A = this chain, B = another copy of it.
């Protein structure tokens, strides 16, 4: 019980600033996503780390800053994914559909990120505002959308009056809602929006919706 557990290390202590920091961020991401900002416990995060609470304050300064750091990393991940977007060799219709699918997949694969964004919205995006990094950078996907839209509009495939930010909002809405509101929607309507057997259905539905919107002749109201 005293020193029988750890294999080789002198006293269980290893120094690795980068690893410790990263581990705290990992655990904090899960804990904040699990319980919300106020529901998350600094002690709980510390307990799930191989280090102590002291280190959280040593590296991040406090709970608020820790949450901001968690957000920064989470947004960093999605930005990276968007940078690897390679759809501009496709025709505009296929490109938009592919973009929608990639967004769909990313939301599905990162429910913790969705929860963090929900939480941040509850708090009025104050942590994003407090972060130079997050306030600075935009979304690589936006540029891609902008170019595809321009191509599609020029060729007459798409209706003219659509804006990249709006289209991004439209696509994100559906993807976000499906993950974020999974629980209440399931409880109230008896349908699990994340059920694997429905996945392809909703993925297609999103693509159909976006393409229909972009290619429809705006008829009479």
Contacts and interface: CB of A to CB of B under 8 A. Distances in A.
Given A134-B187, A213-B212, A215-B216, A122 B118 contact: yes
Interface in A185-221: 185-189, 191, 193, 202, 204-205, 207-209, 211-213, 215-216, 218-219, 221
Contacts of A168: 189
A36 interface: yes
A56 B212 CA distance: 51
A83 interface: no
Given A38-B39, A120-B183, A173-B174, 14 more contacts: A36-B39, A38-B38, A118-B118, A128-B183, A138-B188, A139-B188, A169-B185, A170-B209, A173-B173, A208-B213, A208-B218, A211-B216, A212-B213, A216-B216
Interface residues of A, number: 61
A90 interface: no
A46 to B, nearest CB: 18
A5 interface: no
Number of copies: 2
Interface string A79-120: 000000000000000000100000000000000000101111
A135 to B, nearest CB: 7
A16 interface: no
Nearest to A33: B122
Interface in A159-177: 165-166, 168-170, 172-174, 176-177
A170 B205 contact: yes
A77 interface: no
Contacts of A205: 166, 170
Given A183-B120, A184-B117, A216 B208 contact: yes
Contact of A36 (B38, B191, B219): B38
A172 B178 CA distance: 10
Contact of A37 (B36, B97, B184): B36
Contacts of A122: 35-36, 39, 115, 118-119, 122
